[in-house]
Amino acid sequence: MQSIDRDGIALAYHLTAGTGPTIVFLPGYASDMSGSKAVAIDDWARASGRACLRFDYAGCGESGGAFEDQTLASWRDDALAVIDHVEGPVVLVGSSMGGWIMLLAALARRERVVAMVGIAAAPDFTDWGFTPEQKAVLRDEGRLEEPSIYAPEPTVTTRGFWESGEANRVMRGPIEIGVPTRLIHGQRDPDVPWEHSLKLAGLLRSDDVQTMLVKDGDHRLSRPQDIALILRVLEDILGSDTGTPS
């Protein structure tokens, strides 16, 4: 495992060398680069001779820093740091919250990002993903702790993260990203309504946007058939004209 320094924090990453645009996987909230989708994409890239970069946000996985010190903006900056660490064009693959960071990174690195793949993308979830009561707890107490269906540990959200999310919402109007984009979403997703991917598709400036709905798919989309779909989508979008950012 390798690492780069961002403001004194070591960000762990794994780079598979190869040809073409580098595929950069952006994990979801409290997730890391060892998840099944990230590893499957890396394995596929290696077998296909394509470049792939996985990394951990600060406070997650093997990276340094404390989880509760991080914000959406700081994790966006982590993503930009690893994108800047590699050369040439990149294809961003964002899972859940990673789909939000994917959009922020594409807006910040228009000259580098040539395509995007969102997997249950969750932009602006600090707005629609919390009840008024939960938002009040975040404002008043600075910290919200909830049981997780994905891990034995509770999910913790801080006021700093929530405020950073609210300051970086992207779905209030047209999103000036003009690259080929594929959005995959399970219709049995209990966390991110699949209708959000349809809305996102409509807001993106690109005309080359396709939304794929998996009727029996959940939020994680990590079953063998889900991963096979993700890999087919990657193969398709990498086979399109992804050489010129717009």
The overall pTM is greater than 0.85: yes
Instruction: Look up the CATH architecture of domain 2-127+173-238.
Output: 3-Layer(aba) Sandwich (3.40)
Residue 93 bridge partners (DSSP): 25, 117
Q: Would residue 96 show up in a list of annotated catalytic residues for this protein? A: yes
pLDDT number for residue 204: 98
- Tell the residue number behind the tokens 């975040």, with chain if given: 138
Roughly how many angstroms between the first and final C-alpha of the chain, as a whole number? Answer: 33
DSSP summary character for residue 86: S
pLDDT number for residue 241: 53
Q: Would residue 185 show up in a list of annotated catalytic residues for this protein? A: no
d(C-alpha 102, C-alpha 84), whole Å? 14
Could you say which of 56, 78, 189, 226 is catalytic?
189
Q: Would residue 48 show up in a list of annotated catalytic residues for this protein? A: no
pLDDT number for residue 150: 84
Collapsing DSSP to helix, strand or coil, 201 comes out as: helix
Q: Which amino acid is at 192?
A: V
Six token digits for residue 148: 């997780």
pLDDT number for residue 246: 45
Q: Which amino acid is at 183?
A: L
Which of 87, 111, 122, 90 lies closest to 192, judged by CA? Answer: 122
Could you say which of 31, 63, 95, 96 is catalytic?
96
Report domain extents, the chain: 2-127+173-238
d(C-alpha 20, C-alpha 74), whole Å? 28
pLDDT in tens, the chain (246 residues): 899 999 999 999 999 999 999 999 999 999 999 999 999 999 999 999 999 999 999 999 999 999 999 999 999 999 999 999 999 999 999 999 999 999 999 999 999 999 999 999 999 999 999 999 999 999 999 999 999 888 888 999 999 999 999 999 999 999 999 999 999 999 999 999 999 999 999 999 999 999 999 999 999 999 999 999 999 999 999 986 565 444
Distances from the Cα of 205 to the Cαs of 25, 162, 228, in angstroms? 22, 27, 28
Could you say which of 77, 197, 219, 226 is catalytic?
219
Residues belonging to the chain: 246
Using an 8 Å Cβ cutoff, are 144 and 171 in contact? no
Distances from the Cα of 41 to the Cαs of 53, 165, 175, 197, 226, in angstroms? 10, 27, 27, 21, 12
